[in-house]
Structure 1
Amino acid sequence: MPRRQSRRRRHEEAADWVLRQSRGPLSSAEEAALQAWLADPDNRRSYESARQLFGAAGQAIASDPDLRAFEAKPAKPAGLKVAVVAAALAIGIGSFFWADGPMRLRADLIAGIDEMPRVTLGDGSVVQLNAGSAIAVDFDLGQRSVHLMRGQAYFEVAPDRDRPFSVTAGTTTVVALGTAFDVRLGQADIAVTVTEHSVLLDLGEDRTTQLNEGQQGRYQIAGAQLTVEDSDHHRALAWRDGKLVLDDTPIDEIITEIDKRMSGKIFVTGASLDERRLSGTIDITDPVAALSFIEQALDARTLQIGPMIIMRLD
């Protein structure tokens, strides 16, 4: 197993142990298993990192004035102790996930909500992440593999005949053929846009397709269907300049892009999202202004509750 894969597995196991401990005392068998696992120094280091991250997440939640001001209804005296323990457990686990704890333990590079970092990898290849995106990197003597765990990334691949370069997103693997390309992992689909040379799409089950410069492949996850079409890469890569170019774009896709750049969460209620589409160009470097634009364009109403924004479409 490559070194980075082994490290991520340790991180995942460490997070699991910390979460199990947060739910209450371990059984004798579990405690023995934990101690045996901690006998490995690398495991112990991952465990300590997970504990620190868990604690830091709780502090982050406590520092948020909106969340800190939240008041729970008093519990009945008989259930007070149980309620306090349950609340503490919920806050601990919830804050761990709120602070993106699991992803931070697994990924090698994570972009913040207001970041689009451009990073040079160990082989000289360059990757730029869209806001909120995350990748894990596995390079060894025989291969160069990147796992797009969330979001979107643009790759400029350094040539290396002896080590193929591939990017895995969901069930799809993109194999570079000396190229530059963009990969977006969405909830419903995976989109690959080629800006230089070509790539090979491996969809599994012996299904492969070559995409050439100027083409975009869009793989629908639910139906396992691939659509290939000519693409305007300036539009597809507008996110790199902080722009979102819309062409009869479904509102749920627009909200997803804005949501990546906000510290809270946007929820949309009311009319079917499939019926609402927009065209135009939005500056997504200012997510509040972008959301205001959508609110006016769709005659929607919004309500903010702490870190949550609820948008209602009539």
Structure 2
Amino acid sequence: MTDTAKTPPDDPARRQADEALGQAIDWLMAEQAAATASERAQIQAARVQWLADDPLRGKAWRKAERVWRLSGEALPLIQPGVSVPMAETPPVVVAFPSPSVRKTPWRRRVGGLAAAACLALVVISGGWMPWGAEYRTGTGTMQQITLADGSQISLAAGSALDTALSADRRGVILREGQAFFQVAPDRQRPFVVSAGAMTITVTGTAFDVQREETETVVAVASGAVEVRIEGGETLSLKPGDRVRLTATGRAVQRDRVTAQELGLWRDGRLVVSNQPVVQVIETLRHHFHGLIVLQDADGKGQMLAGRAVTGVFDLRDPRTALETIARLHGGSVRQITPYVLVVSAADGKN
């Protein structure tokens, strides 16, 4: 007879531990399934970041590592100089899925990539979805949020934000991703959005904010917006204005955008104008249930990454979008499994 009172099926701590363990095992499978040393190195780098983001994952990793080694498929799992938080309890041996599900080494590796690829998709470019966020969306999903003051927020796929409404201020922290804000007018309570080094203040307007690893972008559909840059200037934006703050060098770039373009992502379309390939891929990864690896001909990801892209792409079909982008620059997209796509530049076309 089981004691469900001690460990209820929906216990959050138990569920988190189980999820972390499953993710750790999938990371091992993803590394083993890598086609080249370069791909394995990229997956390992993403996995190290995953480990660093939560001590619970270190415990899960050690359990998964022991099971992996007991199964006879040991790998050099920890890179030199990388430390994993020490477990508070001794490692526990857990069981792999039944042999009927895991018939061959190939089947084992591809099956495990399903969860691992979704996980790696978030961290491959250096970020991890903030689990403590008040609102967050998964891959390929969007959420509509109505705040207590009547303001509306459209939260894009792979995004996370927190809200804080008080008697004299309405605040939002965009932790990652993209959101479109339709702010209810209230001159007594400014609406303030924090996104990295940018602070956006309005009293009633519609605007879009995108926060990614490489840049933060603010664009105004209607009304007026004040953008304060940390340690820098304060900008006043009007309808059609867009400002970019790049992560490298914190350079500010201003241009114009139509109101129609701002709303297209909410209809499943991505509009880009003269943007680097790496930034477009960063957006598409939020819509692909798997891992996207940018691999240039020299193996360093620096040749295709900086090429400019202009076009309209279907966010519901990220693979076709990637193939179109790669083809424009003489590259290609290779599917390793249904969950891993490698975007490559062709030799001699750099």
**Fold similarity call, TM over 0.5:** yes
Percent sequence identity over matched residues? 28
Match of 2:119 among 78, 98, 113: 98
CA RMSD of aligned residues (A): 3.5
Q: Matched residue of 1:114: which SS?
A: coil
Match of 2:315 among 259, 284, 296: 284
Distance verdict in 2 for CA 1:205–1:278, change over 3 Å: closer
Q: State how 1:162-181 maps to structure 2 within 5 Å.
A: 162-181=188-207
Conserved 8 A contact 2:130-2:175: no
Give the number of the structure whose residues are more often helix, by fraction.
1
Distance verdict in 2 for CA 1:198–1:290, change over 3 Å: same
Conserved 8 A contact 1:50-1:105: no
Question: How far apart in 1 are the matches of 2:179 and 2:74?
Answer: 47
Q: Counterpart in 2 of 1:193?
A: 219
Distance verdict in 2 for CA 1:253–1:237, change over 3 Å: farther
Q: Matched residue of 1:113: which SS?
A: coil
Shift of 1:165: 0.8
Q: Counterpart in 1 of 2:287?
A: 261
Q: State how 1:114-125 maps to structure 2 within 5 Å.
A: 114-125=140-151
Question: How far apart in 1 are the matches of 2:74 and 2:284?
Answer: 38
Q: Deviations over 1:199-227 (max 9, x none)?
A: 11111336311111111111223223322
Q: State how 1:136-155 maps to structure 2 within 5 Å.
A: 136-155=162-181
Q: Counterpart in 2 of 1:313?
A: 345
Shift of 1:154: 0.3
Conserved 8 A contact 1:177-1:200: no
Structure 1 residue runs without a partner (length 5+) = 1-47, 77-83
Shift of 1:132: 0.7
Shift of 1:50: 4.5
Distance verdict in 2 for CA 1:60–1:220, change over 3 Å: closer
Conserved 8 A contact 1:142-1:162: yes
Question: How far apart in 2 are the matches of 1:280 and 1:213?
Answer: 22
Question: How far apart in 2 are the matches of 1:173 and 1:265?
Answer: 32
Distance verdict in 2 for CA 1:98–1:85, change over 3 Å: farther
Question: How far apart in 1 are the matches of 2:197 and 2:13?
Answer: 28
Match of 2:17 among 38, 48, 54: 54
Question: How far apart in 1 are the matches of 2:271 and 2:221?
Answer: 17
Question: How far apart in 1 are the matches of 2:129 and 2:325?
Answer: 30
Q: Matched residue of 1:201: which SS?
A: strand
Where relative contact order (Cα < 8 A, 6+ residues apart) is larger, the structure is: 2
Conserved 8 A contact 2:244-2:253: yes
Distance verdict in 2 for CA 1:177–1:58, change over 3 Å: same
TM superposition score normalised by structure 2: 0.63
Distance verdict in 2 for CA 1:312–1:244, change over 3 Å: same
Q: Deviations over 1:124-145 (max 9, x none)?
A: 1000011111111111222111
Structure 2 residue runs without a partner (length 5+) = 1-10, 34-67, 76-89, 95-111, 298-302
Conserved 8 A contact 1:106-1:136: no
Shift of 1:251: 1.3
Q: Matched residue of 1:234: which SS?
A: helix
Q: Deviations over 1:155-203 (max 9, x none)?
A: 0001223321111100111001321100011222211001111111111
Letter matched to residue 148 of structure 1: L
Distance verdict in 2 for CA 1:160–1:177, change over 3 Å: closer
In the comparison of the two structures, how many residue pairs are matched? 254
